[in-house]
Structure 1
Amino acid sequence: MSIADQVQDLMEDVLGPERSPKRRRLSSDSPQSSEENDNKPDTEPATDAENGYAFEDESDGAERALDSDSQTPRDRDQTTDSRPAGIHYKPYMTLKGHKRGVAAVRFSPNGKWIASCSADCTIKVWNAQTGTLVHTLEGHLAGVSTISWAPDSIVLASGSDDKSIRLWDVRTGKCMPTALTGHHNYVYSIAFSPKGNMLVSGSYDEAVFLWDVRTARVMRSLPAHSDPVSGVDFVRDGTLVASCSSDGLIRIWDSNTGQCLKTLVHEDNAPVTSVRFSPNGKFVLAATLDSSVRLWKYVEGRCIKTYQGHKNQKYSINACFGTYVSEQEDGEEWAFAMCGDEEGKAMIWDVNTKKVLQVLTGHQGVVLGVDSNPDSSLVATCGLDGSIRVWKNSPSK
């Protein structure tokens, strides 16, 4: 049976009834040795009401809340603690089993599973509630830097320093027989499209590939950057792809035509290590090697928020979004941004106020990967110490 048939079977079963740790600076003049491995069109995609959380609509007050530091009632006071956050993550469980650093950790879309990948050449799948190891996926010939779940929570993709992408059936732990090959160097970042029919990949070879998952063939090859591509993502409706690189650029692409619609660059031009679309599709979150995480309103080409307080100057560390419920605003949901750092911490900021909501500590060394489950009741962190830590939100009553 061909890979196309197998993937289609997996999709029909359901639809029918995060680096070899990003262990080092991403610069073209410093290739990484295995010893270091520890691991479209102008967009108004969907509405904030449909999104159901945290990012406010384009009303005047909401625009001010996201685009400026003016303290309107909607802004929520940035200078006092008069509005306690409904967020208090506590250690829930520590997952151990990888023999080297863990590059990325990702919750499945249905929230049932946690996947992790490592410089030990394996991917592990864990039960998100119990921490039980479900599968160890083996097949890559070098460290695994990146993983992505298909929307069905059954197919898992992994990208490796062996230049390949592999697809796995997490029900059986089996790998599809044919790897997705075509990159000429390490595969750093991958992401499934919202429908699961496409996959985007970014590589140390400076290219971005768009793959047809059913045929395992490259649909488009984008000469995206002048340095290694460190992050890629699909927007929520699949019409756009974002890519970022150590060349300091973030690019927005039309996934259908391959046209570059927008290039974002900050005046400091720091290497960009990860990029993630916001759940409402109107913003991108980017982590950079100047110890900053930035929120971009990409249609306008503007950086509207900068989050700081962590250290990130050497390693490719990723950032993500999550939500929390305000304890003093009738249970309204707000967004947070989360990022690891090089001193064993993970930082959580309120997206709008930039206030640090919580600092998670516990890892020994660099925290490379972070992720939130679908309702943000759990977040996970991973790092060079080889562990995955899962944290449970227990807000005060």
Structure 2
Amino acid sequence: MEVRIYNSKRRRTDNGYVDPANDSSSDELAAVSDHEMDRRRASWSAQKAHKSKRTYERSPRMSDSGSSDELAVDADTYWRESKRRHSRSRSGSRSRSRGRSSSHDGRAGESGLPEEKSEQQSEEYDERQGDSGAGDRNIQPVARTPSPLPPPPPPKPERLNYKVRSILKGHLRGVSAAKFSPDGSMVASGGADAAVKVWDTLSGKLIHTFEGHLAGISTLSWSPDGEIIASGSDDKTIRLWNVLTGKAHPIPFVGHHNYVYAIAFSPKGNMLVSGSYDEAVFLWDVRSATVMRSLPAHSDPVGGIDVVHDGTLIASCASDGLIRIWDTATGQCLRTIVHEDNPPVMSVKFSPNGKFVLAWTLDNCVRLWNYVEGRCIKTYQGHVNLKYGLCGGFGIYGAPGGKPEAFAVSGSEDGAILCWDVVSKKVLQRIDAHADVVLGVDTCCIGDKRLMVSCGLDRTVRIWEEYPEGAEAENEVAAPEAKMNGVEEETIDSSMPASVAEPDKDAQSNGDGMIE
């Protein structure tokens, strides 16, 4: 085969360019022999084969067909190459933008973000992933041991187990009030002997004896800081006693026209609220001992007073059968509560959360009221209360580590103390506490100890401690039977005259919670 190639360009000679038409060689064909053409084909084929070999060596994994085509690489190789290129691209752009190269140790850089790995590390990571089967979609789930559930809370005790811890003797007549200090470290008691006594709660030791009233004491209240005790007396006055100095406030609170039967400090301690048998409720300024406001509260003697935990509300009750809720700031009566049987209400107590009031009535009942709705929601029975103004309150109980539950507690005219579960109304414990009427009960907690104090007409103050079920009380403390205030105890006549169920507002109290 003969191939002719025409050269369209002019040839250059020593004399310059020559026109191909006048050139003597222009008619000659540039013929190439078949041998030369075969040689060129062989050279081109060899170059192509060499390129295919290099591609094969760079990509050893081929498709199932065995083709050497560059596109016939499997998905794993493609994924690796793509990731490597992407890694290099991101590393390059980040280096250009920040002006520094990424570290290769895989730790966080100055920006707080993880640094990119080098290409070599990426390849080593890819190989490890491939060896570990990271590319396999059928990954077997790893069995995990479930974390243990928290233990269930201990069950609520079916009953309480209060036992006497201390018997405090020192009053010469019946004890009408006994209250724990705010921190529970002391107990204040007052009675018909016109004396206020302060005791150490745990040791039972007598700390102070305050005297100054001219008649029996019916009610006590601690200031929120635990430094002052207020006492209300049948001499129509209120006195303050400083526990730290052991001295009385020089100015008595004078203003009521009949004996003072109930008092309570406000949570801030700057105001004192009192209720009297003159049917009035007074709000006193503690610093100046003057009346800030007088509330025409009831049409019968006021038997009980309490202030809610935030100081915004006052509750009062009276022999007229009414419970009234007052706005502290304005003196406005917000709610009047009355039971359909209208029994005389002798004492009232706000619940710790301030949503309810507990009321003692002279019909053997203690009632829990929702004062917002004016509805009685619980009635607790089992005690005797037909003559005396009994007092009580709330306490907590429950297994250690469990949810604390609330109980209501009250004294009884048969010498017992009764504790009810607030919700179920079940009697959790009945304690044969005193030899005569139990006039006052209070509760507190000191660390893990749950304590209760009671007082009554038997002239004693008793401190009770809750023990685990079946445990016996230890270290019972009793005050000595020697002379008390210079008088032999055996010579004291503790007999009390009888009283009527509904006292007359002009009658006088003997300080024992009774009306003569």
Question: TM bucket by the smaller chain?
Answer: 0.7 to 0.9
Who is 1:280 aligned against?
Answer: 353
Superposed displacement of residue 319, structure 1? 1.9
> How far apart are the structure 1 equivalents of 2:245 and 2:169?
21
Q: 2:329 aligns with which of 253, 256, 261?
A: 256
Superposed displacement of residue 373, structure 1? 1.4
Identity %: 63
Superposed displacement of residue 396, structure 1? 2.7
Alignment of 1:226-237 (within 5 A): 226-237=299-310
Gaps of 5+ in 2: 1-154, 471-516
In the alignment, residue 194 of structure 2 is paired with which amino acid? C
Which protein has greater RCO, CA pairs closer than 8 Å, 6+ apart? Answer: 1
Q: Is the Cα contact below 8 Å between 2:159 and 2:429 reproduced in 1?
A: no
Alignment of 1:52-71 (within 5 A): none
Q: Which runs of 4+ in 1 moved over 2 A?
A: 82-87
> How far apart are the structure 1 equivalents of 2:344 and 2:177?
19
Superposed displacement of residue 172, structure 1? 2.1
Q: Quick check: 1:158 aligned with 2:223?
A: no
Alignment of 1:177-192 (within 5 A): 177-192=250-265
RMSD of aligned C-alpha atoms?
1.3
Who is 2:162 aligned against?
Answer: 89
SS at match of 1:294: strand
Who is 1:341 aligned against?
Answer: 412
Superposition TM-score, scaled by structure 2 size: 0.60
> How far apart are the structure 2 equivalents of 1:103 and 1:225?
23
Superposed displacement of residue 284, structure 1? 0.4
Q: 2:383 aligns with which of 310, 328, 347?
A: 310
> How far apart are the structure 1 equivalents of 2:331 and 2:156?
44
Q: Alpha-carbon deviations, 1:184-235, whole Å to 9, x = none?
A: 0000000000110111000010000011111211111001011110000000
> How far apart are the structure 1 equivalents of 2:433 and 2:350?
28
> How far apart are the structure 2 equivalents of 1:386 and 1:268?
34
Superposed displacement of residue 326, structure 1? 4.1
Alignment of 1:112-127 (within 5 A): 112-127=185-200
In terms of fraction of residues, the more strand-rich structure is: 1
Q: Quick check: 1:208 aligned with 2:289?
A: no
Q: 1:171 aligns with which of 244, 253, 267?
A: 244
Q: Alpha-carbon deviations, 1:308-338, whole Å to 9, x = none?
A: 00000001101211111147xx610011100
Superposed displacement of residue 148, structure 1? 0.1
Q: Quick check: 1:245 aligned with 2:323?
A: no
Q: Is the Cα contact below 8 Å between 2:315 and 2:325 reproduced in 1?
A: yes
Q: Alpha-carbon deviations, 1:140-174, whole Å to 9, x = none?
A: 00000000000001111000000000011011221
Superposed displacement of residue 118, structure 1? 0.4
How many residue pairs get aligned? The number is 314
Q: Alpha-carbon deviations, 1:97-150, whole Å to 9, x = none?
A: 000000011000011100000000001000011110000110000000000000
Q: Is the Cα contact below 8 Å between 2:157 and 2:398 reproduced in 1?
A: no
Who is 1:359 aligned against?
Answer: 430
Q: Alpha-carbon deviations, 1:65-113, whole Å to 9, x = none?
A: xxxxxxxxxxxxxxxxx85336310110100000000001100001110
In the alignment, residue 331 of structure 1 is paired with which amino acid? G
**Range moving further from structure 2, 184-193 or 361-370:** 361-370
Who is 2:207 aligned against?
Answer: 134
SS at match of 1:370: strand
Who is 1:390 aligned against?
Answer: 463
Q: Is the Cα contact below 8 Å between 1:86 and 1:325 reproduced in 2?
A: no
Q: Is the Cα contact below 8 Å between 1:109 and 1:374 reproduced in 2?
A: no
> How far apart are the structure 1 equivalents of 2:393 and 2:341?
22
> How far apart are the structure 2 equivalents of 1:83 and 1:211?
43
> How far apart are the structure 2 equivalents of 1:149 and 1:125?
11
Q: 2:268 aligns with which of 187, 195, 219?
A: 195
> How far apart are the structure 1 equivalents of 2:194 and 2:394?
27
> How far apart are the structure 1 equivalents of 2:156 and 2:348?
29
Larger Rg over CA atoms: 2
Q: Is the Cα contact below 8 Å between 2:195 and 2:210 reproduced in 1?
A: yes
